[in-house]
Amino acid sequence: MPSSVIVAGAGIVGAALAYFLSARGIRVELFDEEAPAAQASGAADGAVSVASKRPGAMMTTALAGIALYRKLARDGVFADLFKPRSTFLVAASDAECEVLEAHCAALSGAGVRVTKIDRATVAEKFRVLSPDVGMAAEVHDEGHAIGYQIVHGLLRASGIAVRRREKVQRILVSSDGTCVKGVATAKGEYTADAVIIASGLGSADLLGLSGTLIPRKGQLLVTERAPALNGRMPGAMMSCRYLLSKGSQKGRPAPARGLALVVDPLRTGQFLIGGTREDHGDRRTNDLDAVSKILADAVALIPGLVDVRLLRCFAGARTAVVDGLPIIGRVGSFGNLFVATGFEGDGICLGPVSAESVVAMVCGEKPALNLDPFTPSRFPKLRIAA
Ligand SMILES: Cc1cc2nc3c(=O)[nH]c(=O)nc-3n(C[C@H](O)[C@H](O)[C@H](O)COP(=O)(O)OP(=O)(O)OC[C@H]3O[C@@H](n4cnc5c(N)ncnc54)[C@H](O)[C@@H]3O)c2cc1C
């Protein structure tokens, strides 16, 4: 077992790595080029959800991810940070109903508790929804968490001070080239028994992954508090167009700029409404075209939102991988260099559980998750910035 580990990146993955490492008594140096949750983890919707995952490894890992959130909520680490709730997948057109039927079958096959709801029952029980909704499905036992709150919860529990505004520039390799010794920043060199790269989009420079990691922008909206309407929403409402936009369906590629609708009733009485999937990384701006389309979609699905004012908009850049799966595991032939990145729109759900398994790997144990589908070795061009 290593006695010290360097982690590059203090998003949700880096913070969770720090938490699980320090829980084993391992000394952690955690670096961030900006600040904790400064990038995707601070700009996420926060669905801790299997509802939109692709069948296969992503669904299985998401189920484990939700279970870990429940455990950490019980243990107090995520006390009051995880809101258990269902997700309702809603279909408005025949094409969406077809997608929903197929997706429900995939979810049930993976052991997810799903209840299909026909048009008449939707109209009777979910009066907040537009009468155009033809079918819905309740995905039970899910939840919601605000990414930056989870990052701070993990860091608080680990007791680690992040080295802020200290970018990892290079990875230091031993003279015989068999293992890594540590990292270099503008402030100097740091050594440790193992190094883990959890730098989101910044992982591309450190591991020669440009072209493999792709920035995927998302724009999100937050409304004012509307407790009466919020109280009538039994969970998050996710349009089946979200599945199409995300490419969650086998054989259906994601469009270059997807507009997909999720309306999440927050504990505060507000609504979080998302969002876009755009193949670029400008995370500083919102555009009126996207915002007005998201709002129009939201009001079309939940007509009562027409009386609720928009409070703010924000954007973030997800770290997507060309083949749609995250990159998690040991890097190349180095026994003590690891990576956990490329979680795209799923890292709030998958980040902590993946970090737990990476820590097991770093400690020479068999990880609880099957990480084989996510192995870095599927990208043979991966090279470290030494
Ligand atoms: C709009 C939007 C909506 C989303 N909605 C959801 C959702 O509903 N559910 C869900 O599960 N996920 C969602 N996600 C995805 C989720 O936010 C990400 O997958 C997750 O936050 C990734 O965490 P990370 O730690 O890998 O990366 P990041 O949060 O990007 O963290 C990487 C960190 O590394 C730092 N860094 C970069 N380079 C270096 C370097 N060289 N040295 C040191 N530090 C460095 C950065 O400053 C950053 O703080 C959403 C994302 C966006 C943008």
User: How many H helices and E strands in the chain?
Assistant: 10, 17
**Tens digits of residue pLDDT in 108-139:** 999 999 999 999 999 998 999 999 999 999 99
Higher pLDDT, 214 or 247: 214
10 touches 151 (CB < 8 A): yes
- Give the binding-site residues of ligand 1, using a 6 Å CB cut-off: 8-14, 31-34, 38-41, 43-47, 147, 167-168, 198-200, 202, 206, 218, 220, 275, 316-318, 341, 343-349, 351
CATH number of 4-42+149-212+323-378: 3.50.50.60
d(CA 13, CA 350): 9
Gyration radius of the chain's alpha carbons = 21
d(CA 259, CA 277): 7
Three-class DSSP category at 29? strand
Q: What is the dihedral of CA 296, 300, 306, 312, to 10 degrees?
A: -40
Q: Could you say which DSSP state residue 40 is in?
A: G
**For a substitution probing ligand 1, which of 7, 17, 39, 338 has the most ligand atoms within 8 Å of its CB?**
39
pLDDT for 257 equals: 54
* φ, ψ dihedrals at 41, nearest 5°: -65, -25
Task: Kindly tell me the burial class for residue 380, based on how many C-beta atoms sit within 10 Å of its own C-beta (0-12, 13-18, 19 or more).
Answer: exposed
Task: Kindly tell me the burial class for residue 234, based on how many C-beta atoms sit within 10 Å of its own C-beta (0-12, 13-18, 19 or more).
Answer: middle
pTM summary value = 0.95
Q: How confident is the model at residue 250 (pLDDT cuts 50, 70, 90)?
A: low
**Tens digits of residue pLDDT in 284-335:** 899 999 999 999 999 999 999 999 999 999 999 999 999 999 999 999 889 9
Both tokens assigned to 323: 């083949």
CA of 28 to the centre of ligand 1 (A): 20
User: Per-residue pLDDT averaged across 260-282, rounded?
Assistant: 92
Classify domain 84-143+214-321 at the CATH class level. Answer: alpha beta
Q: How confident is the model at residue 93 (pLDDT cuts 50, 70, 90)?
A: confident
**For a substitution probing ligand 1, which of 87, 199, 280, 285 has the most ligand atoms within 8 Å of its CB?**
199
In the block, residue with structure tokens 């010290």: 4
pLDDT for 321 equals: 97
Q: How confident is the model at residue 241 (pLDDT cuts 50, 70, 90)?
A: confident
The one-letter amino acid at 191: T
Higher pLDDT, 375 or 255: 375
Q: What is the residue extent of each domain of the chain?
A: 4-42+149-212+323-378, 84-143+214-321
**Tens digits of residue pLDDT in 304-316:** 999 999 999 999 9
**Tens digits of residue pLDDT in 96-112:** 899 899 999 999 999 99
Both tokens assigned to 211: 């072209």
Both tokens assigned to 277: 């999937």
315 touches 283 (CB < 8 A): yes
